[in-house]
Amino acid sequence: MNIALLTAAGVGSRMKQEIPKQFLHVNNKPLIVYTMEKFQNHPSIDKILIVTLPSWMDVLQAYAKQYGITKLEWIVAGGDSGQESILNGLTKLKDDGVTSDDVIMIHDGNRCNVSPELISDSLSVYKSNGSAVAAIPCIEAVFKSDDGGKSSVISIPREQLFRTQTPHTYSLGNLLWAHEQAAEKNIEDTAASCVLMQRLGETVYFSKGLEDNLKITTYEDLGIFQSLLTAQSK
């Protein structure tokens, strides 16, 4: 079974709005609904779990009903951090009888423009390697600064650099193992599952990413997403 675990428990502080960013509307539709629809419409995704803010759980359930998100099986309250929120979702899946071998695709709820191609490629790379993390090559010149970004004398070859996105795809058993290790080793600052895996010595296998697969965190990002929707509708 392939399960999409969508993270939507952030408060959206950079937006400086009372409404969390994942519930803001673009073209009269909440951002989280755009994301849910991507996984609802993908034939290889069987079920959806969303981790969200406790005060928004009923709203999310209502949105799922309104927009026909029939694959939404679980809505789970988030934790105090991204890492804890993911663990809450994984624990719910384990408690509900999802097996260790079932596939979990973790995706940012506010990364609304994930394409069917990216979802399919993530599953393909997972099948070949046991894990998959969406990534794109860095195309800009990159410098390392030791004085807070004022200056630098060190450049890093961009050919060696990749920017990760979501989805991150692993088995439930592997993810639960990683979080157990994190608790034992007091690792508490890894909202990205791929970073946690890397810190535990695991190899990160890259699946396809795209610039269009942007994470919406600012008003500028909202405008870009709206432009993408307009272009895709033509």
Q: Which fold has domain 2-133+163-232?
A: Spore Coat Polysaccharide Biosynthesis Protein SpsA; Chain A (3.90.550)
Kindly list the domain boundaries of the chain, sorted by start residue.
2-133+163-232
Residues contacting residue 80 through CB under 8 Å, at least 6 positions apart: none
pLDDT at residue number 19: 82
Is the per-residue pLDDT at 17 higher than 80?
A: no
Q: How many other C-beta atoms lie within 10 A of the C-beta of residue 167? A: 28
What tokens does 68 get? 């026909």
pLDDT digits (tens, 9 = 90+) for 172-222: 999 999 999 999 999 988 889 999 999 999 999 999 999 999 999 888 999
pLDDT digits (tens, 9 = 90+) for 47-92: 999 999 999 999 999 999 999 999 999 999 999 999 999 999 999 9
Q: Which H, E and C letters describe the chain, residue by residue?
A: CEEEEEEECCCCHHHCCCCCHHHCEECCEEHHHHHHHHHHCCCCCCEEEEEECHHHHHHHHHHHHHCCCCCEEEEEECCCCHHHHHHHHHHHHHHCCCCCCCEEEEEECCCCCCCHHHHHHHHHHHHHHCCEEEEEECCCCEEECCCCCCCCCEEECHHHCEEEEEEEEEEHHHHHHHHHHHHHHCCCCCCCHHHHHHHCCCCCCEEECCCCCCCCCCHHHHHHHHHHHHHHCC
Say how many residues make up the chain: 234
Residues contacting residue 197 through CB under 8 Å, at least 6 positions apart: 131, 170, 178, 204
The pTM (predicted TM-score) of the whole model is 0.93
Sheet containing strand 132-137, strands side by side: 72-77, 47-52, 2-8, 103-108, 162-171, 132-137, 206-208
pLDDT digits (tens, 9 = 90+) for 116-142: 999 999 999 999 999 999 999 999 999
Lowest mean pLDDT among 9-18, 83-92, 142-151: 9-18
